[in-house]
Amino acid sequence: MILPILHYPDKRLRTKAVAVPVVDDAIKTLVSDMFETMYEAPGIGLAATQVDHHIRLIVIDTSEDKSQPLCLINPEIIEKDGELEWDEGCLSVPNYYECVTRANHIKVKALNEKGEEFELEAEEILGVCIQHEIDHLDGILFVDHLSKLKQRRLLEKTRKAQK
């Protein structure tokens, strides 16, 4: 099922997500719906917060052919180093892209959609995407990494477009 995606500056995007206590059938259904929503959008990452579910769950697929779906439940970055600038966009901030500085290399631990714990090391686009989506779970948008001037301009542009 395609879920509605919240758009900036919707205040619900600022909600801090809570941990998923158990990976049950409802979570598995949400994971499936989030993948369907992300692919349809189209995007390479989606946080549960963006579809108005305020739990620590993200789905990602950075492959060209949608062949590498990755689900991270209760993700936590346990190591990060280096620095990388990447041109980011966001399904909650449509048609807006800006360069953001992130860690170049991360190690994350999470649960998969079966509730099994795993660790993953990621760099470049996958690492950037994981950091971007974890930010969503903490109520942070990629635009928060921009200058106050760029944030103000985006907010004005967004409000005009919504009228």
One of 64, 117, 133, 156 is an active-site residue; which one? Answer: 133
Pairing of strands 70-81, 57-60: antiparallel
pLDDT tens-digit series, residues 11-37: 999 999 999 999 999 999 999 999 999
The domain covering 11-157 belongs, at the CATH homologous superfamily level, to Peptide deformylase (3.90.45.10)
Q: Which residues of 15-32 are buried (b: 16+ CB within 10 A; e: fewer)?
A: bebeebeebeeebeebbe
Answer whether residue 142 shows pLDDT above 80. Answer: yes
Could you give the CA distance from residue 15 to residue 153 in angstroms, rounded to a whole number? 23
pLDDT tens-digit series, residues 88-107: 999 999 999 999 999 999 99
Domain range annotation of the chain = 11-157
85 is catalytic: no
- The mean predicted confidence, pLDDT, of the chain is 96
Predicted confidence at residue 158, as pLDDT, reads 86
Predicted confidence at residue 26, as pLDDT, reads 98
Answer whether residue 163 shows pLDDT above 80. Answer: no
- Stretch 33-49: mean pLDDT: 98
Predicted confidence at residue 131, as pLDDT, reads 98
* Neighbour-count burial of 158, counting CB atoms closer than 10 A to its CB (0-12 exposed, 13-18 middle, 19+ buried): middle
pTM (whole model) above 0.75: yes
Q: In sequence order, what E strands does 1-148 have?
A: 45-47, 57-60, 70-81, 84-90, 93-102, 105-111, 117-123
pLDDT tens-digit series, residues 57-70: 999 999 999 999 99
Phi-psi region of 2 (alpha: psi -120 to 50; beta: other; left: phi over 0): beta
Predicted confidence at residue 39, as pLDDT, reads 98
